[in-house]
Amino acid sequence: MNRIILTTDDAAFEQRVRDAFQPSLNGDLRRVDYMTAQSLEDLVGEKGSATEVVALGPGIDIDIALNLAQRFDIERPEISVLLVAPGSPGLLERALRAGVRDVLAPDADAVELVRMFDRAADVAQRRRSALGPDVVADSPTGKVITVVSPKGGSGKTTTCTNLALGLAALAPGEVVLVDLDLQFGDVASALQLDPEATMADVARASSVDPAAVKVALTSHQMGLFVLCAPESPAEAEEITAGQIARTLQVLADEFRYVIVDTDAGLSEHALTAIEHSTDLICVCSMDVPSVRALHKELLALEQLGLVPGRKHFLLNRADARVGLAASDIEATVQLPIDVSVPSSRAVPLSLNQGSPVIQSDPRSPVARQFMSLVKRVADEPATTRNAGFLRRRKDAR
């Protein structure tokens, strides 16, 4: 971890941070007096300095701290800002809108201190990469992994929830799952979540900015965040493709992995997610209609120029004896099967209990196959999004 700047006169808090990181901090922390600073450079050094995280507080007036955070967000976006202050109604939303990465309680224990500072530093490092001269301006800094299937009931949500939990085990706090089955999505049910806000709340915000998106996230106990589908199918009509695109861009800037569950077929919402994806996971069951439909879906995406560079083919219920051979399916879909998930009563049981098999039965054959998908996704470096939008614009001329 690189340098941390504490803007506080609370020496006891400084010592607690040092103790939490011992022996790994190695002097990379400095406490400064914000009252004597004439500029941001006086606090954190010139651009290109080692500073990655600035903690505002404890003991700083909230309005002063939020004004400082706004200046950092505008003038020094490569630096992550933490607000160290007691929680209060509305504070988190105000802080996020000012550009604060997170709000940290002054009495947080050592584990929480390390977790929050590490997460902020990781975001700062990815922001610096994104701001570098060799980075394409519209490419995501994290992976956007969209799961598709032309047929309902093929196992998209099961795939998404297990993939998200598997990645969260590798990168806690750096994974977000987006339920874009906006009318009838059930990710919240599959993970036993009771969201206070959904994608509909993001759409109703005055602007789709990081603050509006982050306050709508629901946290899962396994280190995962979820942007849930609206409670009512009617609310889905309020959400535009542009709002979805902006939401995915915001999340890709903040998280290492963004997993997107979609509705069946190629709705406008699904096409928008695919357009902004680095990875496409195609889910298919062991039946002729499902196989043929997936083949048609991939052909349509190719014609639109919307197939990301990395595709993963997951065959669900792969051990079903229904007169179909895996080789025949590969020949029809024109993709090699990467993951073969066997049939198991543990899958519907896990959905009913709100505990994906990768969590509830990690040694099962189903969980092992989902872990192989996790490794495929995690081991490959992120690349730029596909150029589908440009191709669609060009074709339309």
Give how many domains the chain has, as a whole number: 2
Beta bridge partners of 6: 31, 55
User: Same domain for 88 and 219?
Assistant: no
Task: Specify whether 35 is located in the same domain as 108.
Answer: yes
Residues 79 and 56 both lie in one domain: yes
- Establish if 138 belongs to a structural domain: no
Q: In this structure, what CATH number is given to the domain that contains residue 316?
A: 3.40.50.300
Same domain, 175 and 82: no
The whole-number average pLDDT for the span 320-334 is 86
| Domain end residue (candidates: 97, 131, 165) | 131
Q: Is the pTM of this model over 0.85?
A: no
pLDDT of amino acid 391: 35
- 187-201, 241-255, 342-356, 377-391: range with lowest mean pLDDT: 377-391
Flag whether 151 is in a domain.
Answer: yes
pLDDT tens figures, 158-207:
999 999 999 999 988 899 999 999 999 999 999 999 999 999 999 998 88
Query: Of how many residues is the chain composed?
Result: 397
In a domain, 75, yes or no: yes
Q: How confident is the model at residue 383 (pLDDT cuts 50, 70, 90)?
A: very low
Q: Which residue has the tokens 């902006």?
A: 246
Q: How far apart are the C-alpha atoms of 336 and 346, rounded to whole Å? A: 26
Q: Which of 76, 104, 131 is the last residue of a domain?
A: 131
Mean pLDDT for 258-271 is: 92
Residue 396 lies in a domain: no
- Lowest mean pLDDT across 1-10, 296-305, 343-352, 388-397: 388-397
Let me know whether 338 and 362 are in one domain: yes
* pLDDT tens for each residue of 277-308: 999 999 999 889 999 999 999 989 888 878 77
310 assigned to some structural domain: yes
Q: Are residues 199 and 59 in the same domain?
A: no
Q: Which two tokens stand for residue 371?
A: 């872990």
- CB 58 within 8 Å of CB 8: yes
Which residues on adjacent β-strands are paired with residue 258? 144, 176
pLDDT at 348: 86
Which of 102, 131, 160 lies at the terminal end of a domain, its last residue? 131
Is 26 or 212 the better-scoring residue by pLDDT?
A: 212
Condensed to tens digits (0 to 9), the pLDDT of residues 224-247 reads 999 999 998 999 888 998 899 999
Give the chain's end-to-end CA distance (angstroms, integer): 50
- 235 and 356: one domain? yes
Structural domain boundaries, residue 47: 4-131
The CB density around residue 121, as the number of other CB atoms within 10 Å, is 19
The Cβ-side half-sphere exposure at 327, using a 13 Å CA radius, reads: 0
Q: CA separation (Å) from 104 to 28, 92, 120, 261?
A: 20, 10, 11, 31
Q: Which residues contact 266 (CB under 8 A, 6 or more apart)?
A: 150, 297, 300, 301
Do the domain assignments include residue 119?
Answer: yes
91 and 181 inside one domain: no
Q: What is the pLDDT of residues 29-52, one digit of tens each?
A: 888 877 766 677 777 777 767 788
Residues 163 and 253 in one domain: yes
Q: What percent of the chain has pLDDT over 90?
A: 41
Strands 218-220 and 224-227: antiparallel
Tens digits of per-residue pLDDT, 205-226? 888 888 889 899 999 988 899 9
CATH number at residue 93: 3.40.50.2300
State the pLDDT at residue 393: 34
69: tokens are 């955070």
